Structure 1
Amino acid sequence: MKKKLLLIVTNIDRYASGRLKTGLWLSELTHIYHSAKERGWELTIASPKGGQVPIDPESLKPLVLDKISKHYYEDPAFMNELNGSASLEVVKGETFDCVYLAGGHATMYDFPDDALLQSIISDQYGRGKMVAAICHGVGGLLNVKDTDGAYLIKGKRMTGFDWFEETLARRKSEVPFNLEAAIKERGAYLKKACIPMTSNVVVDGHLITGQNPFSSKEMAKVVVRALEKL
């Protein structure tokens, strides 16, 4: 059956210090986008405000810009779609088979405290539908609560960009909070890759999370495989 996915991305283009640019980590969107497109599934790219979606320049460097991401970055149709993202206000109330939160450090600013984003995720998960998030995008899950008022991720096995990886990325002094600590504070069980900056995807029921950009390809495979079983 044809599936319907909501891919949520950031609108933020700089760290709060103003010293460095940030934005969407491109591969964390392109791999799931590509896998779903190949199957003819319906995709909606949305962001908190709608409109333009900045791309983290770090994700465009030759060492990390993989073939699929490069293809989409050079595709005018895709870039127009990305920079014409729907606002969350427009897509609220729609039914999706999967709500997917793409990452990038920028999401640490506009995902965690967005009430509408929280409402969309809470409703999606409460209806037994899939919620997926990768890297810093998992920050969008931090303040989501279930129908009982408890944190959605409490007691869940999950992953996300950890604090040591933040050290390796040289962004500890720039990020607004420690994502690893925040996940643990909400009672989730953080599962890390044995080797930092390597692929790691964790599945807990209909919650799927990926640790870092290097998890993008595996994340797409796991999400698609799970959706095909529905």
Structure 2
Amino acid sequence: MSPRILHVVTNTAHFDDPSHATGLWLSELTHAWEVFEQHRFEQTIISPAGGYVPLDPRSLKFPAKEKTAEAWLADPARMALLGDTPRASEVKAADFDAVYFAGGHGAMYDFPDNTDLQRLTREIFEAGGVVSAVCHGYCGLLNTRLSDGSLLLDAREITGFSWLEEKLALVDKLVPYDVEKQSRERGASYQKAKLPFAPFTVADGTLITGQNPASAKETAERVAELLATLEPGR
């Protein structure tokens, strides 16, 4: 049986200020999807509320550089996967070997406090599966507690979109919180690349995180490498 990947994407279409649109950073999904597709993994996309997945308009400005995103946009069947996603509450953790949280600033809003996402993450992690996130996807890990009550991030080495990158992206006045700071407050050993926006990933056992959009492919590759060492279909 091929490993089964659960992709998690946001339903949030704007910042607190409705005039500033956000959503899924498309290439963070498409780069990972391509890597997993090449490994012939089974893949499913869900969202916290189910249904339509908005795309961050800024993530669509780089089609020449993001070939996987460009190809996805041109494929009606692929786009349909984002038109009507299953709700997190409808999904069973036992059906998957790994969860991959894609980012985009929308994830800052509907990932952290969704109890169904927390359940899926906890159960996949405690069953020996892989938990992964890229960029703002790690917002989905902030409040996840394990069965013993401890925070998943406590004493774990991780990365994710940095506060410096928020400033350089000119959104530090728009974001609802500093997720780098929040992760540290939950006990995480947060790490980041020496240069902002450079590819950077961190693996701590079966927890794998990538810092920014440029890290999506590398994050997925490390997930695939780890899954090859685990028994699929637990």
2:139 aligned partner: 139
Q: TM-score, normalised by structure 1?
A: 0.96
1:228 aligned partner: 228
**Residues 27 and 65 of structure 1 are in contact (CA less than 8 Å); yes or no, is this contact kept in structure 2?**
no
**Matching of residue 178 in structure 1 with residue 173 in structure 2:** no
Q: 1:45 to 1:109 in 2, by over 3 A?
A: same
For residue 17 of structure 1, what is the amino acid of its counterpart? D
Instruction: For residue 64 of structure 1, report the CA deviation from its aligned partner.
Output: 7.3
**Residues 22 and 105 of structure 2 are in contact (CA less than 8 Å); yes or no, is this contact kept in structure 1?**
yes
Q: Give the SS at the match of 2:95.
A: coil
* 4+ runs deviating over 6 angstroms: none
Q: 1:83 to 1:136 in 2, by over 3 A?
A: same
Comparing 58-67 with 113-122, greater Cα deviation is found at 58-67
**Residues 2 and 40 of structure 2 are in contact (CA less than 8 Å); yes or no, is this contact kept in structure 1?**
yes
Identity of aligned residues (%): 44
Comparing 186-195 with 86-95, greater Cα deviation is found at 86-95
2:45 aligned partner: 45
How many angstroms apart in 2 are the aligned matches of 1:63 and 1:34? 16
For residue 131 of structure 1, what is the amino acid of its counterpart? V
How many angstroms apart in 1 are the aligned matches of 2:64 and 2:210? 17
How many angstroms apart in 2 are the aligned matches of 1:5 and 1:227? 10
Q: 1:44 to 1:13 in 2, by over 3 A?
A: same
1:67 aligned partner: 67
1:30 aligned partner: 30
Q: TM-score, normalised by structure 2?
A: 0.95
How many angstroms apart in 2 are the aligned matches of 1:146 and 1:217? 28
Q: CA RMSD in A?
A: 1.3
1:213 aligned partner: 213
How many angstroms apart in 2 are the aligned matches of 1:73 and 1:162? 28
1:20 aligned partner: 20
1:108-140 Cα distance to aligned partner (Å, 9 max, x none):
000001111111111111111100011101010
| Number of aligned positions between the proteins | 230
Structure 2 runs not aligned, ≥5 long: none
Q: Give the SS at the match of 1:86.
A: coil
Q: Give the SS at the match of 1:22.
A: coil
Structure 1 runs not aligned, ≥5 long: none
